[in-house]
């Protein structure tokens, strides 16, 4: 028996099999869930191909989280695949974007507002957009989980993405406040550095990675997305019925060390 038996879960933000979203979709299926995945634009083609590598090929939805039409049509798109009385028990937001050329890699003092606005919209505001788009399908309550990179301190090279993650973390607490009365829990998993497409696009990402080698008391494998996926699935399950507005660190213990 799996911890997600009988649950239906949408994982938004799967491009490659290195995507954290892919690992979440895989573990969720292994734990008994019916899974749908989504992505947007040109990469949708890749997502459709990658979807076949999951234990069960899931429906792939088109969802640009900045496109009001996609958001408005999301509930119907889910119903198209799962039937008129479809519902969602869980939603995973595994999405972020910040222009690596202007916002990351030591560009903090020069980051232009247009690009900062895009980073905040795609990486933080969209957590709210995705939650409200899925709300009509979550009438029986459920769990929404997003992914952050600890935004309580300033990091080398992460720059404006760190600011966007701070906004995401705050957004998560306000969503927890407003959706709690409907039985919807909202939490984040704060992962250590993982070698995904998004991470490899950050100039100087190795600098972040290298700190984990010496400081994470449990050690850290930056090629293993599964510990993060397991934590996301635990939060999606019934194992955390009274937890919301929380950030669970999956970083080998790095966040708790002073040096
Ligand atoms: P990833 O595989 O590149 O996943 C990011 C996803 O966001 C991609 O599927 C990307 O699609 C999608 N996306 C970007 N803009 C979008 C939009 N407007 N609408 C819909 N989807 C959009 O990288 P990842 O590392 O797994 O990232 C997943 C989440 O984990 C992000 O929130 C990231 O910040 C977080 N996280 C990552 C790390 C790490 O070290 N990797 C650590 C902590 C937290 P395209 O590929 O088509 O652009």
Rg (CA), the chain: 17
Q: For residue 1, is pLDDT > 90?
A: no
Q: Say if 206 falls within a structural domain.
A: yes
Domain CATH number, residue 23: 3.40.50.720
Cβ–ligand 1 contact at 90 (below 6 Å): no
pLDDT band at 9 (very low <50, low <70, confident <90, very high): very high
Task: Decide if pLDDT at 193 tops 90.
Answer: yes
121 in a domain, yes or no?
yes
CA diameter of the chain: 54
Q: Is the pLDDT of residue 118 over 90?
A: yes
41 lines ligand 1 (CB under 6 A): yes
Contact 187, 172 (CB under 8 A): yes
Averaged over 112-140, what is the pLDDT? 97
**Which of 125, 158, 174, 200 is flagged as catalytic?**
158
Give residue 78 CA to ligand 1 midpoint distance, Å. 21
111: containing domain: 8-256
**With bands split at pLDDT 50, 70 and 90, how would you rate the model's confidence at 227?**
very high
Q: What is the DSSP letter of 57?
A: P
Classify residue 204: in a domain, yes or no: yes
Residue with structure tokens 């957004």?
171
Contact 186, 144 (CB under 8 A): yes
pLDDT over 70 percentage in the chain:
100
Q: And the tokens for 26?
A: 């895989």
Encoded tokens for 146:
């997003």
Could you tell me if residue 122 is inside a domain?
yes
* Within-domain flag for 1: no
Give the chain's domain count: 1
Entry pTM: 0.98
Q: Angle, to 10 degrees, between the axis of helix 226-236 and the axis of helix 20-30?
A: 60
* Other C-beta atoms lying within 10 Å of the C-beta of residue 127: 27
Taking the C-alpha atoms of residue 26 and residue 104, their distance in angstroms, rounded to an integer, is: 30
**Residue 7 annotated to the active site:** no
Residue 3 maps to a domain: no
Any ligand 1 atom below 6 A from CB of 225: no
CA of 9 to the centre of ligand 1 (A): 18
pLDDT mean over 71-85? 97
Is 95 near ligand 1, meaning CB less than 6 Å away? yes
Domain for residue 81, yes or no?
Answer: yes
- Best mutation site among 60, 62, 96 for ligand 1, i.e. most ligand atoms within 8 A of its Cβ? 96
pLDDT value at 129 more than 90: yes
Give CA separation, 72 vs 43, 59, 66, 157, 217, in Å.
Answer: 21, 18, 11, 36, 45
Give dist(CA 152, CA 142) in Å, integer.
Answer: 27
Which one of the listed residues 107, 114, 165, 174 is annotated catalytic? 165
Q: Which residue bears the tokens 């490659």?
A: 16
Q: Is residue 50 situated within a structural domain?
A: yes
**Mean of all residue pLDDT scores within the chain:** 97
Which residues, 6+ apart, have CB-to-CB distance to 107 below 8 Å?
101, 159, 160
Residue 21 tokens read as 């979203």
Confidence bin at 92 (pLDDT 50/70/90):
very high
Share of the chain above pLDDT 90, in %: 97
> In sequence order, which ranges of the chain are alpha helices (DSSP H)?
20-30, 44-51, 68-82, 113-120, 126-134, 159-179, 197-200, 205-215, 226-236
């Amino acid at each position: 028996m799996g911890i997600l038996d009988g649950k239906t879960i949408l994982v938004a933000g799967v491009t490659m099999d290195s995507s954290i979203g892919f690992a979440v979709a895989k573990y969720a299926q292994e734990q008994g869930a019916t899974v749908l995945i989504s992505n947007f634009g040109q990469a949708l083609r890749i997502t459709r191909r990658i979807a076949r590598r999951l234990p069960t090929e899931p429906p792939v939805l088109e969802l640009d989280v900045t496109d009001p039409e996609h958001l408005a049509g999301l509930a119907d798109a889910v119903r198209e695949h799962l039937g008129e009385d479809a519902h969602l028990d869980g939603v995973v937001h595994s999405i972020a974007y910040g222009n690596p050329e202007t916002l990351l890699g030591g560009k903090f003092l020069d980051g232009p507002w247009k690009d900062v606005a895009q980073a905040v919209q795609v990486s933080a505001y969209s957590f709210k957009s995705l939650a409200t788009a899925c709300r009509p399908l979550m009438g029986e309550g459920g769990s929404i989980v997003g992914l952050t990179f600890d935004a309580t301190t300033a990091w080398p090279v992460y720059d404006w993405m760190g600011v966007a993650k701070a906004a995401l973390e705050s957004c998560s607490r306000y969503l927890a406040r407003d959706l709690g009365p409907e039985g919807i829990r909202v939490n984040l998993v704060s992962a250590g550095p993982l070698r995904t497409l998004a991470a490899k696009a950050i100039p100087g990402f190795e600098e972040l990675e290298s700190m984990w080698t010496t400081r994470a008391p449990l050690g850290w494998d930056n090629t293993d997305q599964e510990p993060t996926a397991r934590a996301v699935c635990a939060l999606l399950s019934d194992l955390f019925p009274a937890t919301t507005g929380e950030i669970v660190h999956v970083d080998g213990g790095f966040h708790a060390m002073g040096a």
